[in-house]
Amino acid sequence: MNARLEILAGILGAAVLVLLAYAAPWLRFVLTIALAKGITVLGILLLLRAGQVSFGHAMYVAIAAYSVAFIAPHMREALLLLPLAAVISAAAGLLIGLFVMRYREIFFGMLNLALSMVFYSLLEKLYTVTHGTDGIRLPVPTFLGRELAGASYEWAVFALALALAACFAVVVRIYLAAPLGQALAGIKTREARLEFMGVPGRFVLLAAYVLSALMAGCGGTIIALTSRHVTPALAYWTASGELVFIAILGGAGSVLGAFLGAVVYELTRVYAAANLADAWQLILGSVLLLVILFAPGGLFGIAQGLLRRRKAA
Amino acid sequence: MSVLLSAQDLRLAFGGVKAADGINLDVMEREFLAIIGPNGAGKTTFINMTTGHLMPQGGSIRYEGKELLGMKPRAIVRLGIARSFQLPQLFTEHTVLENAAMAVAAREGAFSPFRPLLRPAFREEAEDLLNRFGLLPAADRRADALNEGTRKLTDIAMAVAMKPKLLLMDEPTSGVAAADKMAVVETLARVLRDAGVTAVFVEHDMDVVGRIADRVAVWGQGRIAALGPPGQILNDPVVQREVIGIRAGEVPHAAA
Amino acid sequence: MGRDGYTLARGGGAMMAWLSDNGLLLGLAVLDGLASAASIFMVAVGLNLVFGVLRILNVAHGSLYAIGAYTAASITLFLTSHGLPAWLSFPALVVAAALVGVILGPLIERVLLKRVEKQEPVLQLLVTFALFMILEDVQKLIWGVQPVSNDTPMRLLGTIDVPFGADVIPFTAYQLFVLPGIALFTLVGLAWFMRRTLTGRVIVAVTTDREAATSQGIDSAKITMLTFTFGAMLAALGGALASPMSSMVPGVGASTIVLSFAVVATAGLGQVEGAAIAAVMIGLGRSIAVYLEPELEVVVPYLIMVLVLLVRPQGLFGVTETRRI
């Protein structure tokens, strides 16, 4: 799909989301969460491009979410909380990345998993600081100093999420077209060659890792702002797995796929949970299986295929 | 002419096999030095030692007076030494043009996150490079969908894109179709001579050696058995028997 | 004594003092931890076996543990509610494990894993993750969300009073002997099987180099299915054996698999004996933490995993696979 079509599809998608949010107010929350997860999944995509899977990225989501929870009682401005929390996640990503960068594939995945589980366990057990599984509730943040309530607050967070999503979608697209982003695939296919060309593979991967931590931080902030309740479950390994799930479901090669996957995932989860309480995992798991078995390009790949057939017909 | 690369008394043994048993070799600037010899004689080992991927157990390698041993491969690349591989090392998910552009970007150190890989400056240089090697028709094909000869040439082109001073090539013509070989070799020689690049290449095809080499080094059992101009070396009966495989009285023909 | 000897004696003395104060606790912790180490070993060793032949970590392995536990509980409850003798609950554990392994093992391997064996490792891993999600809900659909418990086998064997200094602490014979005993038997049996029997050596061959094994006439596909089924049975057995000790609730599969990953990563992928040592390290580490610093109990396994991986990324006993350029 060429660039112009993609931009068009993106704008169309955003418009559909806004329409949905307007028509069904109870969907606003779900769509905001979906956008937050989509932004985080963009980071997973970057790492997937390099052939590396992180099964611990929920940690960066949780770091930002809890940062917001700790700072909010002292400083309630949402538009300041966002960059603060995101930078904290990115800094954590840099620190941890410096260690994990030496590892590849399964060891990379396991180390990320282990670190995220250490973080999760601490969140769960340090009751005096984190309130354990009860979690922390946030006061309502302000937007540009204004106190917003009810629907206007929801719209504000939704708009913020949409703006961030658009911004990062563009950033990631540009990144992937640039040498640093192209080199990610080089790590997967021929890392030794990169070294022979004088390019340190570790640096390429670290850059992508920190960017992914930043985006996960933005996702975590949105989740904190919209649900106003942070719990350790945000960091559990299944949350990390969910992110990789969405990446593949949407289509691991495309930026739009990340958001498509996230929206489908969240909508299915909400509907299935509401109507067939104990089967949403069954449904989503089966969908993923079908996608991997029959349409490895993900939902976006299916959409592209349909478009091509339409054009040929 | 000055000495660009000087190997002295290199020694390396892998569990009983002497891959290098006292290698002494001076490579002169701008020369084309061919390395010939039977398989297992240690030719690729020499290239690996010079590019920093193998650490010899004794001896030294000096490049423009600087000691290479102990330097990381990336640092050696930055000094202006590039290599191409016996088995082409291409980025299989990228096209030929993208592979070349990556090499150009790497050389420029322009691994910036914002301007695209195929920006006009890089695209032009990559296309020009591919053109010089006759690879332009394959520019938009993915690297894992090429025939062996094209992959080989792309591999060499990527090394040349680094604008090296010294280029080490491991069997540059193996896999190239016989009909195209001489044209490719002539192109390669022209491109390199124009750029003033010193080339050291391992080769099995004696016609190629005869055509473009200034000097030939014969490798045997980890040692240099003979060194001299191709006219002298290739017609030496001992070399012909041991390396090329021609028995006395037979009509000489190039080894495959 | 020289200066060093003096320091040594002082250090030794301090340690003895600490031990006599806390030795009781340590002893308690060790005995407590044995049972959990044993059941986590069963899952981890199955996981390692499967990794050996499939080269991926099966995320659904924890679900097999959970289903084994649920099945064992169900069978036993059925037996006791129908007035059948209580000692039958023991073979019921093994039968449950065998059923789960033999039914789900080939099903999963043939229907799913074999279909994706040529795909990228990420996709294969996600297939097992999707399976995990499906099985989590299958458990809820079959057994509900209320706790299911059955402690018949444990009650039958009664308790043993273990003297600790002045006190006497009762431990169930089940957790002291049955669980660790079966785990030990599995370890020894497996080691013998892999080294001394033809099938075992064939499995090792396929694990080491699948292509070479196939080219020598070994039916790698059949071996893979066999090994997967066996690994599934081991996981289910681990769950079945652990089921009398606590009630089963949804989520056990998730916590078991991530714990097994910690064991497997610490031990080294594909290492059978190593898995036992890592399981003991982690099991004991956890139970010691419970006594010394309860808040750290859940952290300990992952902390151990991180520390080991940072120093030795291939695990304590793992072998690094050389990367070919």
Q: Which residue has the higher pLDDT, C10 or A12?
A: A12
Element (H, E) at B59: strand B58-63
Which chains are adjacent to chain A, needing at least 3 Cβ pairs under 8 Å?
B, C
Interface of A with B in 162-181 (CB under 8 A): 174-175, 177-181
Query: Which amino acid makes up residue A48?
Result: L
CATH code for the domain of A139: 1.10.3470
Which chains are adjacent to chain C, needing at least 3 Cβ pairs under 8 Å?
A
On chain B, the residues whose CB falls within 8 A of the CB of A182 are 94, 98, 102, 117
Q: What phi and psi, each to the nearest 5 degrees, are found at residue C83?
A: 75, 10
Two structure tokens written together for C21: 């104060």
pLDDT at site A159 = 93
pLDDT at site C325 = 27
- Percentage with pLDDT > 70 across chain C: 94
Paired sense of beta strands B32-36 and B58-63, if any: unpaired
Residue in chain B nearest A207 by alpha carbon: B113
The CA-based dihedral angle spanning residues B90, B95, B101, B103, taken in that order and rounded to the nearest 10 degrees: 0
CB-CB under 8 Å, A185 with B91: yes
CB-CB under 8 Å, B113 with A180: yes
pLDDT at site C315 = 84
Residue ranges making up the domain that contains A103: 3-312
Give the number of A-B residue pairs with CB atoms closer than 8 Å.
81
DSSP at A128: H
Q: Smallest CA–CA separation between B242 and chain A, in Å?
A: 34
pLDDT 10s digits, C114-135? 888 888 888 899 999 999 999 9
How many domains, chain A? 1
On chain A, the residues whose CB falls within 8 A of the CB of B114 are 174-175, 178
Fold of the B29-55+63-80+164-256 domain: Rossmann fold (3.40.50)
Q: How confident is the model at residue C323 (pLDDT cuts 50, 70, 90)?
A: very low
CB-CB under 8 Å, A179 with B89: no
pLDDT 10s digits, C152-179? 888 777 787 777 767 777 788 888 888 8
Facing A114 at nearest CB: one of C57, C125, C305: C305
Asked if A280 and C137 count as a contact pair (C-beta separation under 8 A), the reply is yes
A185 touches chain C (CB under 8 A): no
Q: How far is CA C79 from CA C146, C155, C241, in A?
A: 20, 15, 17
Residues of chain A scoring pLDDT < 70: 1, 312-313
Q: Cα separation of C203 and C207, whole Å? A: 6
pLDDT at site C231 = 93
Q: How confident is the model at residue C206 (pLDDT cuts 50, 70, 90)?
A: confident
Give me the sheet containing B166-170, strands edge to edge: B81-84, B166-170, B198-202, B32-36, B215-220, B223-228
A46 touches chain C (CB under 8 A): no
Residue in chain B nearest A193 by alpha carbon: B89
Q: Cα separation of A261 and A238, whole Å? A: 17
Widest Cα–Cα separation across chain B: 66
Best to test chain C binding among A113, A123, A243, A244 (most C CBs inside 10 Å): A113
Q: Which residue has the higher pLDDT, A85 or C293?
A: A85
Q: Cα separation of A113 and B77, whole Å? A: 36
Best to test chain A binding among B72, B81, B85, B91 (most A CBs inside 10 Å): B91
Q: Among candidates B164, B156, B162, B165, which has minimal Cα distance to B185?
A: B156
C130 touches chain A (CB under 8 A): yes
What ipTM was estimated for this complex?
0.90
Q: Smallest CA–CA separation between C164 and chain A, in Å?
A: 30
Residue in chain A nearest B85 by alpha carbon: A193
Facing A281 at nearest CB: one of C59, C122, C134: C134
Break chain B into its structural domains and give their ranges: 29-55+63-80+164-256, 92-163
pLDDT 10s digits, C94-106? 999 999 999 999 9
∠ CA A92-A96-A100, rounded to 5°: 155
Element (H, E) at C235: helix C220-242
Q: Cα separation of C67 and C64, whole Å? A: 5
Interface of A with C in 123-162 (CB under 8 A): 124-127
Residue in chain A nearest B104 by alpha carbon: A197
pLDDT 10s digits, B48-102? 899 888 888 888 999 988 898 888 888 888 888 998 888 888 999 899 999 999 9
pLDDT at site C20 = 66
CB-CB under 8 Å, C309 with A110: yes
pLDDT at site C21 = 65
Q: Smallest CA–CA separation between B116 and chain A, in Å?
A: 4
Q: What phi and psi, each to the nearest 5 degrees, are found at residue A141?
A: -70, 160
Q: Cα separation of C316 and C272, whole Å? A: 12
Break chain C into its structural domains and give their ranges: 41-249
Q: How far is CA B133 from CA A23, A194, B82, B177, in A?
A: 60, 22, 17, 14
pLDDT 10s digits, B196-246? 899 999 998 888 998 899 999 998 888 888 888 988 888 888 877 777 666
